[in-house]
Amino acid sequence: MIFAGTWVDDLPEQLTAELTEAGLEPIWVYGAVLLAFEEDLPAMPFEKREVDKTSEATIPADARGVAEFAAREPGVVAGLGVAAVAFHFAMGDDVEIADRVPDGTRVAPGDVLMRVSGPTRGLLTAERTALNFASHLSGVATATAAWVDALEGTGARVLDTRKTLPGLRMLQKYAVRCGGGTNHRMSLADRAMVKDNHVIAAGGVVPALEAVRAAYPGLRVEVEVTDLDQLRELLDAGCEEILLDNMSTETMAEAVRITAGRATLEASGGLTIERAREVAETGVDFISVGALTHSVRVFDIGMDLREGR
């Protein structure tokens, strides 16, 4: 069946179990795939859904094929399970996916990432949606892995941020994990993150910290500082998580010395991978990188039709 529009409960149990184990809610992944297909094949009001007119015109209805997803460059893959959801969404159970490498795998150019068999029309209809997810998420994982490699042996870990593409945060943060990175908060409710504007509104770093503690006892709270005086104030107030914003390497090293293990320190603000090791060697615990999700380059994956009949 071409464009089956299968419901999430119709996905293979193994696939939904895999998504759940990876920390992805299957119904949420399904919803993201549905929205992506709505862009390509919108459902017309009171009419049936549009069709892929190129494939309908050029491919016989009974044609079947086998296609390979292959890496065009070295990197770390992520989102192949989401791509599998896209194919199942389009073709229901009339599709077979084999030889899919696990997300988080480092691959080389030419490596086959998975093989998909089914109606040729369906393969080509779902191709771009599947590739969009897999290529973007693999780009996030590959970029993250580069930072992880740059920090190897320093003790510092790379963090993501909330600078994610609207609607794709769960998937992008999953891709960060695939690349070996660490997730910061998922939402505004996970923990308190006191930034510069909160500090201004509250009248200082310590008043802001105390306001959060009073309103939400027991909630994790991290406070941003821009100088060492603010750092000292927070340490005296017992703050256990502090963000060092846009500081020089020398100032960060002094912040680590002053803190002496009393709080975890996160370096943030315009950091580049060229500075990664230099910053990590100051002794900070985390380096947060918004570019992992807000401006990452997609990973080059191609889908090649190998057989058709």
| Active site members | 128, 163, 195, 224, 245
Strand (E) or helix (H) holding 128: helix 120-151
Side-chain-facing half-sphere of 23: CA atoms under 13 Å: 13
Closest C-alpha to 120, from 95, 98, 99, 100: 95
**Distance between CA atoms of 258 and 291, rounded to whole angstroms?**
29
Side-chain-facing half-sphere of 200: CA atoms under 13 Å: 4
Question: In this structure, what DSSP letter does residue 66 have?
Answer: E
One-letter amino acid for residue 271 of the chain: L
Side-chain-facing half-sphere of 24: CA atoms under 13 Å: 31
